[in-house]
Structure 1
Amino acid sequence: MQMSRLSTKVGRLISIAGFAVFAGFPCVGQEAAGSEPKMLATGDFVSPDAPGVHVMTFLAEFEAGASIPLHHHGGASQVLLLEGDVDVTGADGTTVSFHPGDKMDEPAGWVHSGVVTSSEPAKLIWTIVLPDGAELETLDNG
């Protein structure tokens, strides 16, 4: 299967942007350990049948104890937790615990943070449907 030049170019930009966003997050546990979250794989899909959006998928691993600060995404996404335990807290203070096999649906713009609560790393698959021009992730102060 051959990709168009546009989707190839967009794919490279999205993959680079996705890594930079995860690596750029000041993950508290990660900083202390001197390492960044591991991006094990990235993928993206641009379809002529769905103009104006990118579907991106990331396989990521976060060290035990790592925390991700308050942030939101520019598109709706879904997370499937493969390994480890993670607590996700919304801006309203509500916390939900996720365990291997659990999935979480994130509406676009939902402000939340996360922390790996297990003694082992957390591995997850994150898929997002991102409209053209929308930010993948934005840090929120507060």
Structure 2
Amino acid sequence: MTHLEEKALETSPITPLCWFRKVDDTFVILHPNNDPRTLLGHLDYRKTQMQFTLEEETNQQISFLDVLVQKDNNDKLQTTVYRKPTHLHVPTQINTFTMPPTIHLKSRKELSQPLRDELTTSVLRNNI
């Protein structure tokens, strides 16, 4: 993705003021005189397997990942935690996800057979 971005931005008719990417989400700030659809068209024109979409700010705010970015009256950016409208405000229980136990041994042969059987049973039980 980085190579694609570098090549696309090198040839873009618009130079973004800021470009932040996290996996497949990109936060871009353009100069107010630039049309974001021009940049979107340039990215989509590159004929890659990826398809870009555009989400513009509404009411001077936009969400990016779990952050709500808001523009204040002085055009400064303020951030707060973003919760989707479907968020239930229910904390996740600490035991809802269990990792199998990690064993740091040079060799499993160092364990007796009953202990190896118990560890295998324990790992299988924790993965269910």
Q: TM-score surpassing 0.5?
A: no
Instruction: Work out which structure has the larger RCO, using CA pairs closer than 8 Å and 6 or more positions apart in sequence.
Output: 1
Q: As a proportion of its length, which structure holds more helix?
A: 2
Q: Which has the larger radius of gyration?
A: 2
- What's the TM-score, normalizing by structure 2? 0.31
Q: TM-score, normalised by structure 1?
A: 0.29
Q: Which has the higher strand share?
A: 1
